[in-house]
Amino acid sequence: MFAQTVFSLLKTVLETANVLECHIMICKIVGYWPFSPILCNIWVTIDVLCSNSSIIHICFISIGRYIGIRNPLHARQAPLLVSRRAVMVKIALVWVISAVVTSPMTIVGLIDRSNVQPQPDVCRISNRYFEIF
């Protein structure tokens, strides 16, 4: 029963990250970027942060499922896998990894605005190296 609670907690955090990504609809609805370059940089940062967080959460959930299938008796009783503290550490680790991946884009956007806003009415990542990353 506790393993189900662990999965529910991870799933809730994943869904929160997905809901935070709904802000990308601004440009789709209006058709252009109506806000300042600083908000564009914040918008791109949040977009990349939430996208990475979603992907890494899915990876952590998949690893937990793999361990549960591979060794079901050990997975339910291992405090390093299913304790509340372990889950909180995993969630914090996901957000820290996402922030580390996102921070270069934020810094590059602050140094040169054209990396996140190539035109005054467009807000998107335009740095080729970060697009590959």
Give one DSSP letter per residue of 36-90, joined into a string.
-HHHHHHHHHHHHHHHHHHHHHHHHHHHHHHHHHHSHHHHHH-HHHHSHHHHHHH
Q: List, in order, residues 6 or more apart from 76 with CB less than 8 Å away.
A: 2, 3, 68, 82
Model pTM score: 0.73
Least confident of 27-31, 48-52, 121-125: 27-31
Q: What are the structural domains, with CATH classification, of the chain?
A: 2-132 (1.20.1070.10)
pLDDT in tens, 17-29: 666 666 667 777 7
